Amino acid sequence: MKGLGRFFSRKCYLVSDALDDYTADFALRGCRSKKSLRSEVAALNRHLADVPVSEMTIAILRRYQADRREQGLAAATVNKQLAVLSAALNLAATNELIPAVPRFPRRLRAAAPRQGFLEVEDYQAIRCELPGWGKPVLDFGWYSGWRKGEVLGLMREEVHLDAKQIRLHPDRSKNSDTRVLPLMGFGLEAVMTGLASPGANVFHRDDGRRISSTFWHYTWTAAAKTAGRAKHFHDLRRTVVRRLELAGVPRKTAMAWVGHRTESIYMRYAITTERDLVPAAEKMLRMLQPHDGKIVPFLKR
């Protein structure tokens, strides 16, 4: 088959070869996050492209970690880059292009994930500073907790007003799943506001153009700064997850709502604050209170 001869004519299998093969396999399997992969592959190639895999040592990889940290990269970013390299070399070993996968150093200790929320007062303050076309975007994000790309890319054809629900197409879902979101209350109002104007996208700018991720980033950053709130749009995901948890929504249902496939990822967003403990105490006390209004006494030992 054309092109396969290169596997048998190689004198030396380089890191760049492994990364090329992994990128091709990534595309063949229809994986998402191609843009992120390209960035990580480019970073690895800048430093390790010409290193023969047979000569790759744990010392070289430790040096890579140290150099990248000295250049100001976050530990999580360095870990992600080496995870891509590890996956590429594992693929090469599976395809019998190398005899074994070199040893890798321990992962760097990354900073704790962000724990920001959008409280009601934050939501109201930022909303006041957004342009008219941006308010329903925030409203829907405040309702759904969906990812920025899923919100900005919401298509008119995905909204089913007769059933009062959204059916997110799997091609636009990060997990490649068809997601269903019921539309009620201010979530429905936000979508109706967007649908009032023509266009393929539900949310768009006043001139009808779609809202790009970059344009929304600058718009959001300016509004948050003017409002004096150091908040990110992604904070809405943690906010909605916390709201679902406090409301007692079953975890599987909550995961389906926000689009988390695994419980481990979901739990990174299910963060509790001190303020959440007060309603928890109130719920606990209500459980101890029978219908006749008397508090259940503690049993004597």
Q: Does domain 9-94 have CATH number 3.40.1090?
A: no
CA angle 42, 44, 49 (to 5 degrees): 95
- Indicate whether 2 pLDDT > 50: no
Residues forming CATH 1.10.150 domain(s) in the chain: 9-94
State pLDDT tens for residues 49-61.
Answer: 999 999 999 999 9
How many whole angstroms separate alpha carbon 296 and alpha carbon 289?
6
Right CATH number for 120-272 from 1.10.443.10, 1.20.1530.20, 3.40.1280.10, 3.50.50.60?
1.10.443.10
Q: What contacts 166, CB < 8 A, 6 or more positions away?
A: 154, 158, 159, 160, 179, 180, 181, 183, 191
pLDDT digits (tens, 9 = 90+) for 127-170: 999 999 999 999 999 998 898 989 999 999 999 999 888 888 77
- pLDDT tens-digit series, residues 5-14: 344 344 689 9
Residue 148 tokens read as 């920025």
Q: Is pLDDT at 70 greater than 60 in this prediction? A: yes
Per-residue CA distances from 18 to 44, 62, 88, 89, 92 (Å): 11, 19, 6, 6, 6
Average model confidence (pLDDT) across the chain? 82
C-alpha span between 25 and 262 (Å, rounded): 24
The separation between the first and the last C-alpha atoms of the chain, rounded to the nearest angstrom, is 81
CATH 1.10.443.10-classified regions of the chain: 120-272
pLDDT given at position 277: 54
* pLDDT tops 50 at residue 300: no
Q: 0.85 exceeded by the pTM?
A: no
Which has more pLDDT, 175 or 206? 206
pLDDT band at 110 (very low <50, low <70, confident <90, very high): confident
